[in-house]
Chain A
Amino acid sequence: MKCARPILALFLAAGVAWGQWGGELRLSLRSEPRSLDPVLVDSDSEETFRYFTGGVLVRVNRVTQQLEPELATSWNIEDAGRKIVFHLRKDVCFSDGTRFSAEDVAYTMQVLLDPAVHSPTGDAFRSGSGVAKAAVRDPYTIEISFPRPVAGAARLFDQVAILSRHSSDRTAAVLGPFHLVERKPGSYLRLARNPNYWKTDHGRRLPYLDAVRLDIQQNREIELLKFERGDLDVISGVEPELFDRVSGSRKAWTQDAGPTLESELLWFNQTPAAPLPDYEKRWFASRNFRLAISHAIRRDDLCRVVYRGHAQPGVGPFSAANRVWFNQALKQHAFDLETSMRMLAADGFKKEGPTLKDAGGHAVEISVITNSGNRSRERAASMIQQDLAALGIRLQIITLDFPALIQRITQSFQYELCLLGLINVDLDPDGQMNLWLSSSANHAWNPNQKTPATDWEAELDRLMQAQAAAIDATHRKLLFDRVQEIVWREAPILYLVNPNALVAASPTLRNLAPSVLRPQLLWNIDRIYFERGR
C-alpha cells in the first residue's frame, strides 16, 4: 500500500501530462475557403484548414520561432546554399493508408511548380533566375535544388503540405493530424482524427481530439455570442472591445499574447504617374514632410484608445514579436510637435492662422483612404485627423469598399495617403521581398519602378537581394537591420501600431500555448485536449 500511493500519484500526474483522448473542438473560420487544395492556399481560412490537415517536412514552432523536424528528421544545406537535402521519417502513412516516401515530396514539388497550377505557395520557389527542382536520392532522401543560394530555405517548407502521388483527391490522403470528413459549403467543415497520424504519445497515436468542426462565420459579434453560449470552444484574433467583454467572464480562458507581426501602417503616394498636383508630389517626396507627419501622430493614444491597450506602437517592418529579425536599436517616432514644425519649416512650410501652407502658398489639405468596415482603422484615421490638425494640416478621411480601394492604390493611383494593415505570415525578411524591392508591384508607395527612384530605394534593393542570398545568419541580420534603419529614417511607410494577439478559449481546454503567430491558439492542435470527455 505504501508503494501504491506514489505509483497512483505518478499515474495521475502522468495522466494529466498525457492528455485525454476524445471530444470535438469547435471554432469558426472568418470566410469560406475557396479551395481546400493545399497548393492553392490564398487566405487565412484556407491556411487554417491546411495547417490542421497537411503534413509538412519541417515546422516553425510558433512559440520558440525555431524550425523543428516533422516528416523530415533532419536536413542539410549543400552547394553553398543552392541545395537542401531532407532525410525523411520512415514508417509514415497517409490518412488513406498509403505509404509516404520521397516520391511524394517530389510529386508535391512538381505540382507546386507547375505553371498551370498557379500555386501561391509555389511562388516562393520561383525567382527571376529560375525555379527549384526536386530529385529523389533514395526512398527516404530528397534534394531540392535552387537556381541561386537561398537563405533559410528550410523554413519555406513550413507552408508545403505533402501530397500523395497515389491520390487524385488532395483532401482524401493527408499527413496532418486531421482529415476532412464532411463539408457543407457556407456552413461548416468537419474534420476527423487521422488514424495514421505519425505522432504518438506514450505509444498511442495523436491527436487527442476526435474531431474539429470549423463553422463559417464572418460576423465577429455572432462568433463571440456563440462562444459565450458554448457553441464554440476557441476564438483567435478577438477584437479588443470584444476581448475586454469576454475577459470578465468565468466561462472563458483569455490571454493577451502580446504584439503580433501584423502592422497598421500609413504611406504616402509617391507614384510619379499619380494624378496629383506637382506641389503635393513634392510634399510626399520630402523626407522631412513624411517624418513631420510621423512625429505628429500620437501612437500611444492609438494603442490606448483604439485598441484599448491591446497594441504596441509600431516601429518598423517587424514588431518586437519577431525575436530574430526585429532591430532592437530602433524606437518609435516619438510624438513631438516641435520636431514636426521644425522639419516642416526646413522645407519652407509655415503656419498661417490655423492652416499650414507650403512655400508656394498652397494650404496643406490631404486625404487618407482606408477600407470601410474596419472599425479600428476608421477610428485610427479619426485620431490621426485630429493629431494633424495641431500642425495646421486638414486631413479628409475617405472610406471605400475594398475593391475600390485596391483599384486606387494599384491602378489609378488616385490617392494621397493610404491607411491599411499588413499581415506578416513569415518570420523571415524574404517574406517582405515584394514590399521592399522597387521593381515589385507591391512596393506600396511607388510600385513597378524600372530603376529605383531614389538612392535609398536602390540601397534597399541591394540590401534585400544581398540578405536573400547570404547564408550566414549573422550577416543576414546585419543586412536586414540596415534595411530597417533606412525605412525608419526615410519613413516611406509610417508604422503606427502592432495589434496584440488576443485569444479566448473554453476553460476545459488544456495544452494551450498562445502564440503571436498564426494560427495563434491552435498551432499545436495535435496536442490540445479537453480536460473531461465531451
Chain B
Amino acid sequence: MRTAATIFLISVFATALFADYTAPYPFAAQFRELPNAAASGSHLLGTDALGRDRLSRLLYGARLSMLLAPAAALGSVLLALGFALLAAMGGPWCERLILAAADLFLSLPLFFLLLAARALLPLHTTAETAAIVMFGLLAGLGWAGPARVMVGAAKQFSRSDFVLFAKTCGHGRIRIALVHIMPNILPVAKAQFLIATPSYLLAEASLGLLGLGIPEPVPSWGSLLRELESVSAITANPWILTPALCLFLVVAGFHMAVSADKTAV
C-alpha cells in the first residue's frame, strides 16, 4: 500500500512539475468564445467560466500546490526538529519554554493570521510571491504540532543509555544532539512531514475556496475548487469534480504513506 501511494504521489508530482510540457494550453489563456464548454477533444476537462482550459489549470495548479505544500511542511518539520534538539540540549527549563511557545502557537487563529497577512501584502506582490508568503506563513506558524511530538521523542532519547554513555565519554551537548539524538528522531520527523503536507494542501484549498488564496490568474487546487460551490454546475458538468478528486487522492496518498510509515516506526 505504501509503495502504491508513493508511486502515485511521485507520478502526480512529476506530471505537475513538467506542466509546461504536459498542459495543452497556458493556464491564463482565455478562449472567450468557449466559456463553460463541456469536455471535448480540444479541452479534455472542458473550460471554466472564462473559457480557460480546465486540464491545463489543473496541471499548473498541481505544480504550485504539490511544490509549495511539501516545502512548507518541510520548513515546519525542520523548525520543529531544531526546537526538539534545543530542548534536548537545553535541559528542563528550555524544554518547558519551547513547549509553552508551542502551546501558544497552537492557540493562534491560523486562518485569521493568513487573512491579515494577505491584507498587508504590498500592492505589486505577484501571485507567485503571494503563494510563497502564504505557504511560508504556514511553515512558520505550523511547527508547533510536530514540535510537541518531536520534543517528546528527543527527551526520551536524551535519557537513553547511549546518550548517557556519550556524556561519560565527554561529548559536548551539540555533538550529542546532532550525532546521537537527531538520527533517532528523523523517522518521527518524516512521519510529521507526511502528516503536515496534506494539512497544508487542505489549508490552501480552504483559502482558495473563499477566494482568498493564490491571486488570479495563477491556478491552485484551492481556487479550482471554487467551481464546486454551485451544486447545479456539478450535475451539469461532472468533470469539474476533477480537482476535488485529485486533492482527495493526493491527501489520501499522503495519509496511506504515513500510516505505513508509522507501522515501520
Q: Which of B28, B35, B119, B215 contacts A396 (CB 8 A)?
A: B215
In the complex, residue of chain B having the shortest beta-carbon distance to the beta carbon of A269:
B123
Whether A372 and B212, one on each chain, are in contact in the complex, defined by CB atoms closer than 8 angstroms, is: yes
Q: For the complex, is A318 an interface residue (Cβ under 8 Å from B)? A: no
Whether B232 and A242, one on each chain, are in contact in the complex, defined by CB atoms closer than 8 angstroms, is: yes
* Cα-based distance from A386 to B35 in the complex (angstroms): 15
Q: Mark A298-309, 1 if CB is under 8 A from B, else 0.
A: 000100111000
CB distance from B94 to the nearest CB of A (A): 39
> Are A399 and B211 CB-contacts (below 8 A) given A379-B49, A381-B216?
yes
* Cα-based distance from A350 to B232 in the complex (angstroms): 47
* Residues in B whose Cβ lies below 8 Å from that of A414: 123
Task: Please provide the chain A residues from 369 to 417 with a CB less than 8 Å away from any CB of chain B in the complex.
Answer: 372-373, 375, 378-379, 381-383, 385-386, 396-401, 404, 414-416
CB distance from B227 to the nearest CB of A (A): 10
* Cα-based distance from A304 to B50 in the complex (angstroms): 10
Q: For the complex, is A245 an interface residue (Cβ under 8 Å from B)? A: yes
* Residues in B whose Cβ lies below 8 Å from that of A245: 232, 236
CB distance from A270 to the nearest CB of B (A): 15
* Residues in A whose Cβ lies below 8 Å from that of B49: 241, 305-306, 375, 379
Q: For the complex, is B6 an interface residue (Cβ under 8 Å from A)? A: no
CB distance from A243 to the nearest CB of B (A): 11
Q: For the complex, is A63 an interface residue (Cβ under 8 Å from B)? A: no
Whether B231 and A301, one on each chain, are in contact in the complex, defined by CB atoms closer than 8 angstroms, is: no
* Residues in A whose Cβ lies below 8 Å from that of B210: 372-373
Q: For the complex, is B233 an interface residue (Cβ under 8 Å from A)? A: yes
Q: For the complex, is B199 an interface residue (Cβ under 8 Å from A)? A: no
Whether B232 and A397, one on each chain, are in contact in the complex, defined by CB atoms closer than 8 angstroms, is: no
Query: What are some 21 contacts across the A-B interface (CB < 8 A)?
Result: A221-B229, A224-B232, A241-B232, A241-B233, A242-B232, A305-B32, A305-B50, A305-B51, A367-B123, A372-B212, A373-B211, A382-B216, A382-B217, A386-B28, A386-B217, A396-B124, A399-B216, A400-B119, A401-B115, A404-B119, A416-B123
* Residues in A whose Cβ lies below 8 Å from that of B226: 375
Whether B119 and A221, one on each chain, are in contact in the complex, defined by CB atoms closer than 8 angstroms, is: no
In the complex, residue of chain B having the shortest beta-carbon distance to the beta carbon of A308:
B35
Whether B211 and A378, one on each chain, are in contact in the complex, defined by CB atoms closer than 8 angstroms, is: yes
Whether B123 and A396, one on each chain, are in contact in the complex, defined by CB atoms closer than 8 angstroms, is: yes
CB distance from A276 to the nearest CB of B (A): 8
Q: For the complex, is A365 an interface residue (Cβ under 8 Å from B)? A: yes
* Residues in A whose Cβ lies below 8 Å from that of B216: 378, 381-382, 385, 397, 399
**Contacts A306-B49, A396-B125, A404-B119 supplied; 13 other A-B pairs, CB < 8 Å:** A221-B231, A225-B231, A242-B232, A304-B32, A305-B35, A372-B212, A378-B216, A382-B216, A382-B217, A396-B215, A400-B118, A401-B212, A415-B123
Q: Helix, strand, loop or mixed for chain B's interface? A: loop
Task: Please provide the chain A residues from 268 to 327 with a CB less than 8 Å away from any CB of chain B in the complex.
Answer: 301, 304-306
* Residues in A whose Cβ lies below 8 Å from that of B110: none
Q: For the complex, is B206 an interface residue (Cβ under 8 Å from A)? A: no
Q: Mark B221-240, 1 if CB is under 8 A from A, else 0.
A: 00000100111110010000
Q: Interface of A with B (CB < 8 Å)?
A: 221, 224-225, 241-242, 245, 301, 304-306, 365, 367, 372-373, 375, 378-379, 381-383, 385-386, 396-401, 404, 414-416
Q: For the complex, is B127 an interface residue (Cβ under 8 Å from A)? A: yes
CB distance from B69 to the nearest CB of A (A): 21
Whether B32 and A301, one on each chain, are in contact in the complex, defined by CB atoms closer than 8 angstroms, is: yes
* Cα-based distance from A301 to B33 in the complex (angstroms): 9
Whether B212 and A398, one on each chain, are in contact in the complex, defined by CB atoms closer than 8 angstroms, is: no
In the complex, residue of chain B having the shortest beta-carbon distance to the beta carbon of A372:
B211
Whether A398 and B211, one on each chain, are in contact in the complex, defined by CB atoms closer than 8 angstroms, is: no
Q: For the complex, is B30 an interface residue (Cβ under 8 Å from A)? A: yes
* Cα-based distance from A381 to B211 in the complex (angstroms): 13
* Residues in B whose Cβ lies below 8 Å from that of A221: 229-232
Task: Please provide the chain B residues from 154 to 206 with a CB less than 8 Å away from any CB of chain A in the complex.
Answer: none
* Residues in B whose Cβ lies below 8 Å from that of A386: 28, 30, 217
Q: Mark B115-140, 1 if CB is under 8 A from A, else 0.
A: 10011010111110000000000000
In the complex, residue of chain A having the shortest beta-carbon distance to the beta carbon of B217:
A382
Whether A383 and B124, one on each chain, are in contact in the complex, defined by CB atoms closer than 8 angstroms, is: no
The 7 closest A-B pairs by CB, nearest first: A372-B211, A404-B119, A367-B123, A397-B216, A382-B216, A305-B35, A245-B232
CB distance from A532 to the nearest CB of B (A): 29
* Cα-based distance from A367 to B229 in the complex (angstroms): 27
CB distance from A268 to the nearest CB of B (A): 13
CB distance from A165 to the nearest CB of B (A): 48
Q: Which of A373, A379, A397 contacts B215 (CB 8 A)?
A: A397
Q: Mark B29-57, 1 if CB is under 8 A from A, else 0.
A: 01010010000000000000111000000
* Cα-based distance from A382 to B32 in the complex (angstroms): 12
In the complex, residue of chain B having the shortest beta-carbon distance to the beta carbon of A225:
B231
* Residues in B whose Cβ lies below 8 Å from that of A399: 211-212, 215-216
Q: Name which of A221, A305, A397 has the most chain B CB atoms within 10 A of its CB.
A: A305
In the complex, residue of chain B having the shortest beta-carbon distance to the beta carbon of A228:
B232
CB distance from B228 to the nearest CB of A (A): 11
* Residues in A whose Cβ lies below 8 Å from that of B126: 396
* Residues in B whose Cβ lies below 8 Å from that of A400: 118-119
In the complex, residue of chain A having the shortest beta-carbon distance to the beta carbon of B126:
A396
* Cα-based distance from A382 to B30 in the complex (angstroms): 9
* Residues in B whose Cβ lies below 8 Å from that of A378: 211, 216
> Are A398 and B215 CB-contacts (below 8 A) given A386-B28, A414-B123?
yes
In the complex, residue of chain A having the shortest beta-carbon distance to the beta carbon of B227:
A375
> Are A241 and B230 CB-contacts (below 8 A) given A367-B123, A401-B119, A401-B212?
yes
Whether B123 and A379, one on each chain, are in contact in the complex, defined by CB atoms closer than 8 angstroms, is: no
Whether B212 and A396, one on each chain, are in contact in the complex, defined by CB atoms closer than 8 angstroms, is: no
CB distance from A310 to the nearest CB of B (A): 13
* Cα-based distance from A301 to B49 in the complex (angstroms): 12
In the complex, residue of chain B having the shortest beta-carbon distance to the beta carbon of A371:
B211
Q: Which of B30, B115, B236 contacts A383 (CB 8 A)?
A: B30
Whether B124 and A365, one on each chain, are in contact in the complex, defined by CB atoms closer than 8 angstroms, is: yes
